[in-house]
Amino acid sequence: NAGVTQTPKFRILKIGQSMTLQCAQDMNHNYMYWYRQDPGMGLKLIYYSVGAGITDKGEVPNGYNVSRSTTEDFPLRLELAAPSQTSVYFCASTDSTNTEAFFGQGTRLTVV
Amino acid sequence: KNEVEQSPQNLTAQEGEFITINCSYSVGISALHWLQQHPGGGIVSLFMLSSGKKKHGRLIATINIQEKHSSLHITASHPRDSAVYICAVGGGATNKLIFGTGTLLAVQP
């Protein structure tokens, strides 16, 4: 089925560990996004990409890195995990006309 | 001030009531999305609006571009409508989506 595939669904990290959240879409969307959602708060943009090879920072990029080597994949890298990065992470994609937004299932990350 | 403001933040309704959730934005947009998130669940797109009004089942979404305002209406509300409803706007050179903080709706039987 077409859509956004995000893995893993759950992860517990120790402080200082690193990990990569995977995101892939099969709709040939140019625009991809990573958001985090803290309890009781709205979605905050971490990084976004408007096409392969192009990425840019969102509102809350510190502590994260991304790459976009292909149109399909947009992984999010956490370096030196901190408790403040405990959150639910969502990957999303849209086409160039913003017709519809597709979201991954979310990753619940806990840093202890 | 947030670029996208939603009201109310929390809403409790009785089954069968007509519900309205509002969204105001302060940036130029090409599209406005209404999204639904169930507790512990993922996010699904309900509507994308660039003008006028759309209807899907018991859900109606309207947008007034001049006033930079959109509303989501739910007619004959049902407990299964209980969820967080999120307004998001997209546009500009990067087309990135900017989200409101969401409205938590609880429909009681």
Which residues from A are below 8 Å from B31, CB to CB? 97-99
What is the pLDDT, as a whole number, of residue B90? 85
What is the pLDDT, as a whole number, of residue B93? 65
Helical H segments across B31-108, by residue range: none
* Tokens matching residue A92: 């999303």
Distance in angstroms (rounded) separating the CA atoms of residues B35 and B88 = 8
* Tokens matching residue A73: 């994949």
What is the pLDDT, as a whole number, of residue B96? 78
Task: Give residue for tokens 């429909």.
Answer: B107
Q: What are the pLDDT digits (tens) for A8-28?
A: 999 999 999 999 999 999 999
Output the 3-class SS for A4-29: EEEECCEEEECCCCCEEEEEEECCCC
pLDDT bucket at A46, cuts 50 / 70 / 90: very high
Instruction: Pick the more confident residue, B38 or B71.
Output: B71
Among A23, A94, A96, A97, most B C-beta atoms within 10 A, so best to mutate, is A94
C-beta atoms of A42 and B86 within 8 A = yes
Distance from CA of A26 to the nearest CA of B (A): 17
pLDDT bucket at A73, cuts 50 / 70 / 90: very high
Average pLDDT of chain A?
Answer: 92
Distance in angstroms (rounded) separating the CA atoms of residues A87 and A72 = 24
Among B2, B35, B43, B50, most A C-beta atoms within 10 A, so best to mutate, is B43
Distance from CA of B97 to the nearest CA of A (A): 8
